[in-house]
Amino acid sequence: MRNRAPTDESSPDGAGSSDKRRVLVADDDRAIRESLARALELEGYDVATAVDGVEALTRIRRDGFDALVVDVMMPDVDGLAVCRLLRAEGDRTPVLMLTARVETPDRVAGLDAGADDYLAKPFELDELFARLRALLRRAAPTTDGPDRSAGGLQVAALRIDPAARRVWWADTELALSKTEFDLLELMVRNEGIVLDHSTVYERIWGYDFGADSKNLAVYVGYLRRKLAAAGAPPLIHTVRGVGYAVRKP
């Protein structure tokens, strides 16, 4: 973790808000855990810490948080297991996974476990703060936008209720993470339009990961598998070198 000088004007939502968002930092490395907790507190967050996955699960179930920053490599119950258990229990708290592993299969494992984003060590604090703010913005309830009061969105037998954040193919409900839901909703709202990679990254993550990032492809693949498991035909189409589009079968 690379430090930077904190600023008094910083706030979790980037707008100078005095409301503190609750964040849990789970990492077995004491130096990283404590320095990250101090940095987040200086940014205006209410921070709790956990030394391993067992303590993290106990605190999450007992106290509740707005976001979780979880290290992958922890003793006994690791970060991936923490994420899987929470998602199995229906807990959709945004999870930012910290990992020293940067290979694609490792990133895929974290996303498949239900993490909303990942950050490789060592990292810049500014980038961690930006990713955390993006997760919190996406998790915040909203009442604006088309179709939220008009019965939701639909393409073929795919139905989305944006207000309740629920998705069905025919009579089968899909269990989606926050990021998966946001991505599918964005593409369905723009049915038939090819959304380029940069646009999707900006709309979903709040910034562009760059040309070499595999994040978007991983999430698209995950959505395709979940839709196929529910019996849906191919809905999400790849336009090579450009991006993705949802089209009626």
Q: List pLDDT tens digits, range 71-99.
A: 998 988 899 899 888 888 878 899 999 98
Strands 195-196 and 243-246: antiparallel
Question: How does strand 153-155 pair with strand 117-120?
Answer: unpaired
Which pLDDT score is estimated for 104? Answer: 63
Tokens of 234: 């191919």
DSSP E strands, the chain: 22-26, 46-50, 67-71, 95-99, 117-120, 153-155, 158-161, 166-169, 172-174, 195-196, 236-239, 243-246
Q: In which band, very low, low, confident or very high, does the pLDDT at 221 lie, cut at 50, 70 and 90?
A: very high
Query: Considering the chain, what percentage of its residues have pLDDT values greater than 70?
Result: 82
Q: What 3-state class would DSSP assign to 96?
A: strand
SS3 90: coil
Q: String of b and e for 169-204 (b: at least 16 CB within 10 Å)?
A: beeeebebbbbbbbbbbbbbbbbeebbebeebbeeb
How many Å separate Cα 30 from the centre of its chain? Answer: 25
Give the tens place of pLDDT for each residue, 164-179.
889 999 999 999 988 8
157 has pLDDT over 90: yes
* pTM greater than 0.75: no
pLDDT surpassing 50 at residue 15 = no
Residue 49 near residue 24 (C-beta atoms within 8 A): yes
